């Protein structure tokens, strides 16, 4: 199951990159990047998954004493939480830059931002 | 066309790297060193039932501090980027007011949503959810207000103050950890309390609440900045 | 039970990839944005299956909720930009 | 001591505090920002102090009160302390510089800067890989934000490009981190071990992804287009910070990662680094935009440091010294240069000529260039030396060669830029001397010199800045406000004083050179009294050259010899650059010199890695093929300085275009440095052969060809000073030939040339310079008939050419006499014949100096000119006296040398009894020759006067108007193209093959750079594709290798 999720995550990353690298519209690029980000998150969570265990939350069903044998690895989840928020921050930032770009050029074509080169 | 071809070719190369990872991946049968420590010690040391929260707030608190800073930074930069083109308020086109129903509904709903957000981060150490999720929910409350009443100018002053004060308290608590407890961001400032109670797990609920407020304020700030842009 | 979960996982994965392809290749930008939101939403269900409720909540609230809103906010400001 | 984590906490607290300020309280917000940065700097400085002075132990900082790996921990050790100090200090000065922009943009911008600086600190301090990711993201976002501070509208797009590429990079980083965690069970860098990764294939791929993502932040070639756009368009204050601080932090992160990756990753790091170093330098060549050029140079430097980090296996503990030295130099120089660029309105590198008239800024500029090119006394020099020795000692010659080639290209464009600054037309727009900006620049300058001192103290070779001659030269920087004549007096007194104090320490061989440098130098400096005003920049440069020369002959080990070599090179370059039209010539001089210096460095590095003995003993101790290679490298290196044929193209321009009193210095004195090097080399190593070719034999041919072709080129020259310059090539050829004979007389002859060449070339250059000063031209056909107007100059030239051409009675003849004796005892006939024939050719061009300049018809426009100025004539007259003395008693100087050479070449010495000198083939009595010649000349002259006593003086008239006015009037002049018939016969020999060859090399490099940089299309998607290509290529190398 983890492998399936992981494979799906990798595919999302590749699909996202493909979209981000071939679409000329900036908004579409950003959309594609969010897809890739989701893929990364899925891969990360899948790495921490362990078959037949439950979420790392101690309650009546998972008493403290059993935690060692009942819960999955909590670390990747903690990391993904951070990664999601950072990803959202960068997306917001890119959107703001896109707005500024459109404001100046009245286009969202990424190939039009090549004044700086060589 | 060449670009597409190159992209496909290179991504095929990347895919083969990923396949190397995927096909040699073997799930752990037992928790590894780090996870084992958390599973065994969190309840006793930190007193939080949600181990992820304990990790996020305490063990890897520096990451979270950084993460909060990412949002802070993003909000600040979005403000800077958009401040450039923003015209004075007087130039703003007056949009037609939205319907009475929507306005009233949102006035009624928004506080509830915000309350829900508070609930989510207040219980972060016990149940799934926490400062970030709670913050996002608060922000969606703010979003609702913005959508319902586009002419309303959200007070940046209030948002910034909430954000700054909660941020300062966060850093303050972190530094207090050095002085009073075992180190930066140590949550043993406050008593551990009873496992599973609302007021338990040391400073975690306090920190997560501050994070919730801060994140909520930051998201709101981003949204408010965006909502003040001109239609192009 | 396990077989059901497995089947569900495969289904979710397929749905995600499908939505992702729409998001990346599809013609209309609003639909692409919605599809990307859908990818996140399906991913959050997948996170639940992977025993990660915290991540699932975050992904749903931030990944599929706020981010999608942000896109539409910006898109609304740039009429005509979507056709470039 | 304040805990290091307070650095991060302070930044965070300050930025959150800024949120409470109203937008109206910008000044207060700015004060908070500065205070926070100052506090962060203070903490870092405190730690540096603790580690450096009290040798404190590194401190681990635990967060959350839990041991790693269960919580994030930081570490503060000496490297961390030094790096955070560097970062925070740069941040502080950038903030000062940015005051205007900050007050305009408000507190949000200040908060972004604080986050940026904090993130760099975090990258350095953290020991947790995911935490590293968080700080990297902060750094990326803050970079995007700080791009908004620029006035350049394109900056926003550049920031956006970075965000796009970093999205791809961070995906790889995250996947790498999570799989590394899976493989090792920890996120802590210190607890991850190479065997964790080696066990599992997934683990090693995970490490690969992590590594490649962090390396991508170092802007490796070709995945660096975004960085160039950032460098080009960012606010200069931020570009400096970005180049200095973020490079420092990221390099340290890579160093941390490489520890866990294990030694198998080191070659990959080196490979990426070296490719980046060479490629970025090559692509920089055709660049005209100053900030983009600096961007290329930044990328190159970082690549070099990455390569050094990859050589950790052989550098051992000294890798911190080497990499740190390069990094310190890079940081100070790049920050300083970017900050300088903020003062200048034009974005073209030629626009930097606006700096002229601001000596402090010019000094800062050349210091920064020297920092970057690794010249002494800066840390990059020590680093270069250590690196070369380590690489040569471990047989990594290819890598060493690659690094040196890259460094040479970099020196090429940096010195070209400096040349533009000094020589190009000043733009209308003045620089804006914004006080805070100037403060930051001066701080960078001070940092560069402090680093120089520190690295000198840390190196095992002694501090370059403790050498008296160098300090004497540098003190002229502080005295530059004095009038020229005061400085001239100080210089003369200093040099003569140094000689008097030290002359007893020199052996006869060195004594000859010491006299030429320390007594001959002041003699030429007499001519410098002619200059008026303050002559800013002349004395530091000249004294730097003399300091280098003085230290050269005092050097006994490889290191100090090489230091001196580089010092004299830089000093003479600056001196030559002062000439009116000398810009391209000075450039080709410095490039050839540095190229030669790199060969010498390689030779020294090989030799000193074999044997730790002092220089001559170590050279002696070499055996086998190594000895041959070392000899070859060093010989070519030294022959670059003597302008042997093939390596000579820099000389004519450099010597001819220099100022009147500089030409004799660089010709009469500086050329001897190469001969001195050759002498030291050949005395120590004797005859060496490589692949069956005897190297001294090859040198015989080179010497002979230099003599022949140098003289041939001189005869077709119209420009008096160029003629003299070409003649120097020939003269050095003779000396080289003499040395290469490897017998007693050959060496005596070479010494004879050392002395003679100094005297007559100095004298002739002064005369030619004096004449050129009066007539306003150096073209000989525009002169004529000056004998009556400038009689003293005439006498000097007459005596000079008699001496040069080797006819009796002057010392030149002595040289010839010894030469003929020497070749009679040598076995190689062909080079001997060639050398023999170049003698009469010398007479052809020397004859023109008298005939065309002083005899013949006086030009109308020259009727009113006067004799050359007193101070230019005075040394010439002294030289005339010297030549006479040397002609009569050559034994004065040569006797002791002859005896000294007896140690090395016991056979074939001369017998110096009485006033005659006897060899195995005959004898030479200078005094009787003098008497005979004087009698013959005197009687002939008297007879001529007698038969011409009734000669009538005829007024001459201008023939030009007799018919149509010619298109090029000079073609009708009899002295123009005087040796046209010879050109028909021998012209093929003087075709500029060599010049064309080197031009082609330069063209190929330029074209390659120009084509290569088209890779950077400006499209962020292309940049992202470059990154993917980079990943795939490195992956293929890694799996394939």
Q: Which of A6, A24, A28, A92 to mutate to test the interface with C (most CBs of C within 10 A)?
A: A28
| Cβ distance of D64 and B177 shorter than 8 Å | yes
Looking at CA atoms only, how far is residue A28 from chain B in angstroms?
15
Q: From CA D246, how far away is CA D767, in angstroms rounded?
A: 56
Whole-number pLDDT of residue D807: 75
| Cβ distance of A13 and B18 shorter than 8 Å | yes
Whole-number pLDDT of residue D491: 95
What secondary structure, in 3-state letters, does D662-722 show? HHHHHHHHHHHHHHHHHHHHHHHHCCCEECCEEHHHHHHHHHHHHHHHHHHHHHCCCEHHH
Whole-number pLDDT of residue C4: 86
Q: Check residue D394 and report its DSSP letter.
A: T
Give contacts of A80 with chain B, Cβ < 8 Å.
Answer: none
Neighbors of chain D with 3 or more C-beta pairs under 8 Å: A, B
Q: Is the pLDDT of residue B84 over 80?
A: no
| Cβ distance of C58 and A42 shorter than 8 Å | no
ipTM exceeding the 0.90 mark: yes
3-class DSSP state of D196: helix
Q: Please indicate if any CB of chain A lies within 8 Å of the CB of D1019.
A: yes
Q: Please indicate if any CB of chain D lies within 8 Å of the CB of A83.
A: yes
Give contacts of A19 with chain B, Cβ < 8 Å.
Answer: none
| Cβ distance of C82 and A34 shorter than 8 Å | no
Closest CA to D420 of D264, D562, D582: D582
Q: From CA A5, how far away is CA D152, in angstroms rounded?
A: 45
Closest CA to D835 of D721, D752, D740: D740
| CA D515 to chain centroid | 26
Spatial contact of D753 and D734, defined as CB atoms under 8 Å apart = yes
Spatial contact of D356 and D457, defined as CB atoms under 8 Å apart = no
Q: From CA D1037, how far away is CA D99, in angstroms rounded?
A: 47
Could you give the dihedral angle defined by the CA atoms of residues D543, D548, D551 and D557, in that order, rounded to the nearest 10 degrees? 160
Give contacts of A103 with chain B, Cβ < 8 Å.
Answer: 85, 232
Q: What is the residue-wise DSSP string for B74-129?
A: HHHHHHHHHHTTPPPGGGPPPPPPPPHHHHHHHHHHHHHHHHHHHHHHHTTTTSS-
Q: Please indicate if any CB of chain A lies within 8 Å of the CB of B14.
A: yes
Whole-number pLDDT of residue B144: 82
Domain residue limits, chain B: 49-227
Q: Which domain holds residue A92?
A: 2-53+71-112
Spatial contact of D133 and D114, defined as CB atoms under 8 Å apart = no
| Cβ distance of A97 and D159 shorter than 8 Å | yes
Looking at CA atoms only, how far is residue B45 from chain D in angstroms?
10
What secondary structure, in 3-state letters, does D868-919 show? CCHHHHHHHHHHHHHHHHHHHCCHHHHHHHHHHHCCCCCCCCCECCCCCEEC
| Cβ distance of C58 and B227 shorter than 8 Å | no
Closest CA to D1028 of A26, B12, B21, C17: B12
Whole-number pLDDT of residue D177: 94
Q: From CA D1034, how far away is CA D422, in angstroms rounded?
A: 43
| Cβ distance of C54 and B130 shorter than 8 Å | yes
Q: Please indicate if any CB of chain B lies within 8 Å of the CB of C30.
A: no
D188, HSE (Cβ side, Cα atoms, 13 Å) = 20
Whole-number pLDDT of residue B91: 45
The rounded percent of chain D whose pLDDT value lies above 70 is 98
Mean pLDDT of chain A: 89
**How many contacts, defined by CB atoms under 8 Å, are there between A and D?**
111
Mean pLDDT of chain B: 82
pLDDT (tens digit per residue) in D742-801: 888 888 888 888 888 999 899 999 999 999 999 988 888 888 888 888 999 999 998 888
Spatial contact of D362 and D352, defined as CB atoms under 8 Å apart = no
**What average pLDDT score do residues B48-54 get?**
85
**Residue D181's CB: how many other CB atoms inside 10 A?**
27
Burial of residue D913 (number of CB atoms within 10 Å: 0-12, 13-18, 19+): exposed
**Residue D989's CB: how many other CB atoms inside 10 A?**
13
Q: Please state the φ and ψ torsions of residue D975, each to the nearest 5 degrees.
A: -90, -5
Nearest-CB residue to B52 (from C54, C62, C66): C54
Residue A64 pLDDT grade (very low, low, confident, very high; cuts 50, 70, 90): confident
Whole-number pLDDT of residue D955: 58
Whole-number pLDDT of residue C81: 63
Whole-number pLDDT of residue C1: 55
Q: Helix crossing, D624-641 with D671-685: angle to 10°? A: 160
Neighbors of chain C with 3 or more C-beta pairs under 8 Å: A, B
* D164: CB partners within 8 A, 6+ apart: A20, A29, A33, A94, D226, D1020, D1021, D1023, D1024
Spatial contact of D655 and D530, defined as CB atoms under 8 Å apart = no
Query: C40 to chain A: nearest residue by CA?
Result: A38
More confident residue, C62 or D966: C62
Q: Is the pLDDT of residue B95 over 80?
A: no
| CA B178 to chain centroid | 24
Considering only CA atoms, give the Rg of chain D: 32
Give contacts of D168 with chain A, Cβ < 8 Å.
Answer: 17, 20
pTM for this predicted structure: 0.94
Q: From CA D306, how far away is CA D216, in angstroms rounded?
A: 12
Mean pLDDT of chain D: 89
Q: Please state the φ and ψ torsions of residue B184, each to the nearest 5 degrees.
A: -55, 130
Nearest-CB residue to A40 (from D134, D161, D175): D175
Q: Helix crossing, D318-341 with D359-373: angle to 10°? A: 150
Spatial contact of D653 and D588, defined as CB atoms under 8 Å apart = yes
Q: Which helix (H) or strand (E) holds D86?
A: helix D78-97
3-class DSSP state of D779: strand
Q: Is the pLDDT of residue B130 over 90?
A: no
Q: From CA D871, how far away is CA D588, in angstroms rounded?
A: 31
Q: Which of C13, C53, C61 to mutate to test the interface with B (most CBs of B within 10 A)?
A: C61
Q: Domain for residue A60, yes or no?
A: no
Q: Number of folded domains in chain A?
A: 1
Q: Please state the φ and ψ torsions of residue A25, each to the nearest 5 degrees.
A: -75, 130
Q: From CA D510, how far away is CA D577, in angstroms rounded?
A: 29
**What average pLDDT score do residues B103-127 get?**
83
Residues of chain D with pLDDT under 50: 961
Domain with residue A28: its CATH number is: 1.10.287.3510
Whole-number pLDDT of residue B88: 46
The token duo for D721 is 């000073």
Residue B64 pLDDT grade (very low, low, confident, very high; cuts 50, 70, 90): very high
Q: From CA D740, how far away is CA D755, in angstroms rounded?
A: 18
| Cβ distance of C54 and B128 shorter than 8 Å | yes
Whole-number pLDDT of residue D956: 54
Domain residue limits, chain C: 2-79
Q: Say if strands D693-694 and D917-918 run parallel, antiparallel, or are unpaired.
A: unpaired
Is there contact between C and A if contact means ≥3 C-beta pairs under 8 Å?
A: yes
pLDDT (tens digit per residue) in C9-42: 999 999 999 999 999 988 889 999 999 999 999 9
The token duo for B7 is 């992209």
What secondary structure, in 3-state letters, does D453-500 show? HHHHHHCCCCCHHHCHHHHHHHHHHHCCCCCHHHHHHHHHHHHHHHHH
Residue B153 pLDDT grade (very low, low, confident, very high; cuts 50, 70, 90): low
Query: C78 to chain B: nearest residue by CA?
Result: B232
């Amino acid at each position: 199951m983890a492998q399936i999720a992981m494979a799906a995550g990798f595919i999302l990353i590749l699909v996202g990159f493909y979209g981000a690298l071939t679409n000329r519209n900036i908004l579409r690029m950003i959309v594609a990047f969010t897809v890739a980000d989701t893929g990364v998150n899925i891969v990360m969570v899948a790495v921490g998954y362990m078959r037949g265990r439950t979420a790392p939350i101690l309650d009546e069903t998972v008493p403290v004493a059993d935690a060692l044998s009942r819960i999955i690895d909590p670390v990747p989840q903690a990391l993904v939480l951070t990664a999601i928020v950072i990803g959202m921050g960068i997306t917001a930032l890119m959107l703001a830059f896109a707005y500024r770009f459109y404001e100046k050029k009245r286009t969202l074509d990424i190939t039009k931002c090549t004044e700086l080169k060589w | 066309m060449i670009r597409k071809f190159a992209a496909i070719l290179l991504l095929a190369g990347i895919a083969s790297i990923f396949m190397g990872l995927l096909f040699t991946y073997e799930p752990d049968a037992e928790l590894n060193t780090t996870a084992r420590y958390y599973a065994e010690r969190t309840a006793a040391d930190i007193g939080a039932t949600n181990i992820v929260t304990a990790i996020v707030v305490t063990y890897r608190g520096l990451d979270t501090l950084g993460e909060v800073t990412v949002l802070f930074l993003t909000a600040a930069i979005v403000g800077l980027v958009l401040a450039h083109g923003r015209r004075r308020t007087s130039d703003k086109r007056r949009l037609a007011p939205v319907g009475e129903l929507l306005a009233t509904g949102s006035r009624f709903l928004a506080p509830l949503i915000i309350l829900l957000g508070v609930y989510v981060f207040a219980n972060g150490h016990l149940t799934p959810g926490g400062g970030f999720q709670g913050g996002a929910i608060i922000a969606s409350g703010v979003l609702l207000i913005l959508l319902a009443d586009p002419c309303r100018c959200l007070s940046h002053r209030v948002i910034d103050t909430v954000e700054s004060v909660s941020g300062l308290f966060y850093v303050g608590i972190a530094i207090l950890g050095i002085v009073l407890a075992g180190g930066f961001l140590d949550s043993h400032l406050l008593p551990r309390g009873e496992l599973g109670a609302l007021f338990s797990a040391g400073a975690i609920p306090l920190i997560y609440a501050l994070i919730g407020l801060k994140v909520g304020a930051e998201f709101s700030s981003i949204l408010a900045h965006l909502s003040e842009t001109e239609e192009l | 039970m396990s077989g059901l979960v497995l089947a569900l996982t495969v289904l979710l994965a397929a749905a995600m990839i499908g939505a992702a392809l729409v998001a990346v290749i599809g013609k209309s930008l609003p639909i692409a944005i919605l599809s990307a939101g859908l990818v996140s939403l399906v991913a959050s269900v997948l996170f639940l299956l992977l025993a990660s409720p915290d991540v699932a909540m975050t992904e749903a609230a931030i990944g599929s909720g706020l981010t999608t809103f942000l896109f539409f906010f910006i898109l609304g400001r740039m009429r005509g930009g979507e056709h470039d | 001591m304040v805990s290091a984590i307070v650095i991060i906490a302070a930044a965070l607290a300050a930025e959150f505090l800024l949120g409470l300020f109203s937008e109206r309280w910008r000044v207060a917000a700015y004060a908070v920002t500065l205070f926070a940065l100052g506090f962060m700097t203070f903490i870092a400085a405190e730690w540096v102090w603790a580690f450096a002075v009290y040798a404190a132990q590194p401190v681990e900082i635990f967060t959350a009160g839990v041991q790693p790996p269960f919580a994030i921990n930081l570490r503060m050790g000496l490297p961390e302390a030094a790096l955070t100090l560097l970062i925070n200090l740069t941040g502080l000065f950038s903030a000062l510089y940015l005051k205007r922009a900050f007050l305009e943009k408000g507190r949000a911008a200040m908060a972004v800067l604080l986050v940026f600086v904090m993130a760099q600190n975090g990258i350095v301090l953290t020991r947790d890989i995911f935490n590293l990711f968080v700080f990297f993201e902060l750094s990326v976002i803050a970079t995007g934000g700080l791009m908004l501070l620029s006035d350049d509208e394109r900056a926003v797009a550049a920031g956006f490009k970075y965000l796009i590429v970093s999205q791809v990079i961070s995906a790889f980083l995250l996947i790498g981190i999570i799989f590394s965690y899976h493989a090792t069970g920890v996120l802590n860098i210190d607890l991850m071990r190479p065997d964790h990764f080696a066990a599992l294939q997934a683990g090693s791929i995970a490490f690969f992804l992590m590594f490649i993502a962090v390396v991508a932040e170092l802007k490796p070639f070709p995945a660096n287009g975004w960085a160039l756009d950032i460098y080009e368009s960012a606010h200069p204050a931020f570009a400096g910070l970005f180049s200095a601080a973020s490079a420092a932090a990221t390099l340290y992160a890579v160093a941390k990662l490489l520890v866990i990756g294990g030694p198998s990753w080191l070659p990959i790091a080196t490979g990426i680094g070296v490719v980046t170093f060479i490629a970025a330098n090559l692509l920089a060549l055709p660049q005209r935009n100053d900030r983009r050029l600096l961007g290329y140079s930044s990328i190159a430097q970082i690549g070099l440091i990455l390569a050094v980090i990859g050589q950790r296996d052989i550098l051992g503990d000294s890798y911190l010294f080497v990499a740190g030295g390069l990094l310190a130099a890079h940081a100070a120089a790049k920050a300083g240069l970017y900050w300088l660029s903020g003062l200048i309105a034009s974005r073209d590198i030629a626009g930097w000529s606006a700096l002229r008239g601001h000596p402090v800024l010019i000094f800062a500029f050349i210091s920064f260039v020297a920092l970057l090119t690794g010249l002494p006394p800066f840390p990059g020099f020590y680093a270069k030396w250590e690196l070369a020795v380590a690489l040569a000692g471990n047989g990594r010659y290819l890598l060493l060669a690659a690094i040196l080639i890259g460094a040479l290209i970099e020196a090429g464009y940096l010195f070209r830029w400096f040349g533009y600054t000094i020589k190009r037309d000043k733009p209308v727009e003045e620089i804006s001397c914004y006080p805070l900006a100037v403060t930051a620049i001066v701080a960078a300058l001070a940092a560069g010199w402090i680093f120089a001192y520190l690295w000198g103290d840390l190196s095992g070779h002694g501090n370059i800045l403790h050498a008296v001659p160098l300090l004497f030269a540098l003190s002229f920087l502080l005295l530059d406000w004095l009038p020229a004549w005061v400085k001239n007096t100080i210089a003369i007194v200093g040099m003569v004083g140094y000689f008097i104090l030290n002359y007893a320490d020199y052996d006869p061989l060195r004594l000859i050179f010491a006299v030429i440098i320390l007594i001959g130098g002041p003699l030429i400096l007499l001519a410098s009294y002619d200059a008026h005003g303050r002559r800013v920049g002349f004395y530091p440069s000249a004294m730097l050259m003399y300091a280098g020369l003085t230290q050269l002959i005092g050097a006994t080990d490889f290191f100090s010899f090489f230091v001196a070599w580089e010092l004299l090179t830089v000093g003479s370059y600056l001196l030559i650059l002062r000439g009116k039209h000398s810009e391209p010539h000075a450039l080709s001089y410095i490039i050839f010199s540095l190229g030669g210096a790199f060969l010498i460095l390689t030779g020294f590095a090989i030799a000193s890695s074999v044997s730790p003995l002092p220089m001559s003993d170590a050279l002696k101790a070499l055996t086998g093929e190594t000895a041959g290679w070392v000899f070859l490298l060093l010989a070519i290196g030294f022959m670059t300085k003597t302008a042997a044929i093939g390596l000579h193209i820099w000389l004519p321009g450099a010597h001819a275009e220099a100022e009147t009193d500089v030409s004799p210095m660089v010709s009469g004195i500086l050329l001897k440095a190469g001969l001195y090097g050759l002498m030291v080399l050949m005395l120590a190593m004797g005859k060496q052969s490589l692949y069956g070719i005897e190297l001294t034999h090859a040198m015989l041919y080179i010497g002979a060809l230099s003599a022949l072709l140098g003289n041939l080129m001189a005869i077709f020259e119209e420009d008096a000073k160029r003629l003299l310059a070409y003649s120097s090539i020939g003269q050095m050829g003779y000396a080289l030939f003499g040395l290469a004979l490897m017998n007693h007389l050959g060496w005596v002859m070479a010494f004879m040339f050392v002395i003679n060449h100094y005297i007559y070339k100095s004298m002739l250059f002064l005369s030619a310079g004096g004449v050129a000063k009066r007539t306003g031209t150096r073209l000989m056909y525009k002169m004529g008939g000056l004998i009556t107007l400038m009689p003293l100059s005439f006498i000097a030239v007459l005596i000079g050419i008699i001496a040069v051409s080797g006819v009796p009675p002057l010392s030149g003849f002595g040289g010839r006499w010894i030469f003929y004796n020497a070749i009679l005892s040598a076995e190689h006939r062909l080079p001997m014949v060639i050398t023999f024939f170049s003698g009469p050719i010398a007479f052809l061009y020397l004859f023109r100096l008298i005939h065309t300049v002083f005899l013949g018809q006086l030009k109308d426009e020259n009727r009113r000119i006067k004799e050359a100025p007193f101070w230019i004539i005075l040394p010439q007259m002294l030289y005339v006296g010297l030549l006479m003395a040397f002609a009569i008693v050559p034994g004065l100087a040569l006797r002791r040398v002859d005896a000294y050479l007896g140690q090395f070449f016991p056979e074939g010495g001369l017998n110096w009894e009485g006033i005659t000198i006897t060899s195995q083939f005959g004898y030479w009595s200078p005094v009787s020759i003098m008497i005979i010649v004087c009698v013959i000349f005197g009687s002939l002259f008297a007879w001529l006067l007698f038969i011409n006593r009734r000669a009538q003086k005829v007024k001459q008239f201008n023939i030009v108007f007799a018919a149509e006015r010619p298109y090029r009037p000079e073609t009708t002049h009899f002295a123009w193209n005087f040796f046209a018939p010879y050109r028909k016969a021998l012209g093929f020999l003087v075709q500029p093959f060599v010049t064309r060859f080197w031009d082609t090399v330069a063209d190929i490099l330029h074209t390659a750079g120009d084509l290569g940089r088209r890779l950077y299309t400006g499209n962020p998607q292309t940049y992202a594709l470059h990154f993917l290509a980079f990943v795939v290529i490195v992956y293929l190398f890694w799996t394939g290798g």
